[in-house]
Amino acid sequence: MSEQEIEGQTGETSSIRPQFGNRFLSDGDDVFQHNAWDNIEWDEEQEQAALDGVKKNSTVKLSPEEVERLSTEADQNWDRFYGIHQNRFFKDRHWLFTEFPELAPKAQPGSDVPQRVLPGGEVQTEVSTVQTPDPCERRTIFEIGCGVGNTVFPILKYSDEDNLMVYASDFSSQAVEILRQSPDYDTKRCQAFVLDATADRWDVPFTENSIDIVVLIFVLSAIDPERMQHVANQIARYLKPGGLLLLRDYGRYDLAQLRFKPGKCLKDNFYARGDGTLVYFFTQDDLRTLFSKAGLTEEQNIVDRRLQVNRGKMIKMYRVWVQVKFRKPSTS
């Protein structure tokens, strides 16, 4: 889990959480009644203010020397980040299985997998809508940018598949070491390793056309936009025919983008944080282009404009995230 993920939390603490897009703010509602509201509509004034904010903080670009330094020190910056924050991460992603039920399709109804409350009060386990895999077949999940395991460990906890193998990679050796030292790290069902996803060749413990699901959670945004197409192509290379890509990441004009001061921008919509880590802010078309060019077929492409509130300080915070699902075509 990275700094991106910390910024991307909703603040919700209940494991029973509606899928985004189900909690609407209407006229007359108390905006501070809940921690977050979904699918917030922006008016022209707010859109223009966001555009002006990005234009202002993008005017002054980092020098080529500073960009080169950030690139050279990237591994050190992420190792330092995990060294400092290793005990300060959210331990579970309550939204993970409501948005991506494909990750634990064999979880049993009545378990503590996050559930969705339907109109009328009926509780539905999200994974019940996903086809249960053949128990005789081995299923593989590969998370790129696993951090300290905040996606990996919930999958291992909620899925009772006998033949599941979760591969987990991260650019930071510090993050991988923290993950491996966890008491929840089960070498029979999980294998974690260091990987630079931007490398020309991937040194991975599996073959091409072998992975059922590739997961990217607030990770692709940390990669230089010029290398993103290569990463998308590699993902397509290792997915098996019919395999699925799941991604959730920052959207254009998210609060995190608007907070940057001039002088932190490397290139359009790509910034350096104070700790040296990098972040890009996507549009839906950005992701559609990347993965379509890689030969994958779009199944979901959603922008989630959410209003978060700090009820203690009475502060409103407008977040924008993107979520996509792309599938590798099956061979005939």
- Element at 107 (helix H, strand E): none
* 287 phi and psi angles, rounded to 5 deg: -75, -35
pLDDT at 106: 61
pLDDT at 109: 44
* 241 phi and psi angles, rounded to 5 deg: -55, 130
Q: HSE of 132 in the Cβ direction (CA atoms, 13 Å)?
A: 11
Q: What amino acid occupies position 247?
A: L
Give mean pLDDT in consecutive 10-residue pieces for the chain, a chain of 332 residues: 39 42 50 55 76 83 73 62 54 76 68 43 42 72 93 89 93 90 92 96 96 96 95 98 97 91 90 86 97 97 78 69 96 63
Q: Are 322 and 304 in contact (CB under 8 A)?
A: yes
pTM (2 d.p.): 0.79
Domain assignments of the chain as residue spans, ordered by start: 80-105+136-247+284-328
**Count of other CB atoms within 10 angstroms of residue 289:** 14
* 123 phi and psi angles, rounded to 5 deg: -100, 125
CA dihedral 49, 52, 53, 59 (to 10 degrees): 180
Rounded CA-CA distance 168/233 in Å is 19
pLDDT at 64: 75
Read off the tokens for 162.
């006998």
CATH classification (class only), 80-105+136-247+284-328: alpha beta
